[in-house]
């Protein structure tokens, strides 16, 4: 099972019950991704079988590498700052997709995704270079709030 069995509310904050048992999935994920590329396993079955926190860690490692390469190419070392308003929505969408594919009730995650999407859109600047120009000195979006 990709989710831990928790019997008490306190168990939700226990690292040894919620994260630690699934760390081997993170270590074996690159090998399993190679199996997907070699058509020995389907991506959807790997996605469902992997704990969503573990796949979220893997996404973070991948994005960290992308931001590192982009910052070296552009000589702008705050590449992640350009995406900070979108990343929460991407991660919530990841958890929502996993819940739907795994058959886990997702109504609360749907609500979180809706509000996060509204929040991300409120920060979005509909210009072609909005995410590729230097960041502003101050946040004008507070007037929206």
For the chain, percent helix, then strand, then coil, each to nearest 5?
Answer: 70, 0, 30
pLDDT digit string (tens) for 59-102? 999 999 998 898 888 887 777 777 888 899 999 999 999 999 99
pLDDT digit string (tens) for 2-57? 788 888 899 889 998 888 999 999 999 999 999 989 988 888 999 999 999 999 99
pTM equals 0.77
**Cα 1 to Cα 127: distance, rounded to the nearest angstrom:** 44
Quick count: other Cβ atoms within 10 Å of Cβ 51? 20
Q: Where are the beta strands (DSSP E) in 1-109?
A: none
Q: What distances in angstroms separate CA 144 from CA 88, 114, 115, 135, one per listed residue?
A: 19, 18, 15, 18
């Amino acid at each position: 099972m990709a989710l831990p069995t928790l019997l008490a509310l306190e168990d939700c904050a226990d690292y040894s019950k919620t994260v630690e048992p699934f760390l081997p999935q993170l270590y074996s994920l690159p090998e399993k991704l190679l199996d997907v590329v070699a058509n020995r396993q389907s991506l959807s079955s790997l996605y469902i079988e992997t704990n969503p926190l573990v796949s979220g860690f893997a996404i973070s490692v991948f994005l960290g590498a992308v931001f590192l390469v982009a910052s070296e190419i552009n000589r702008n070392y705050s590449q992640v700052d350009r995406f900070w308003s979108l990343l929460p929505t991407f991660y919530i969408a990841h958890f929502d997709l996993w819940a739907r594919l795994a058959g886990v009730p997702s109504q609360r995650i749907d609500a979180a995704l809706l509000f996060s999407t509204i929040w991300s859109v409120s920060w979005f600047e509909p210009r072609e270079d909005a995410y590729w120009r230097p960041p502003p000195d101050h946040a004008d979006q507070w007037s929206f709030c």
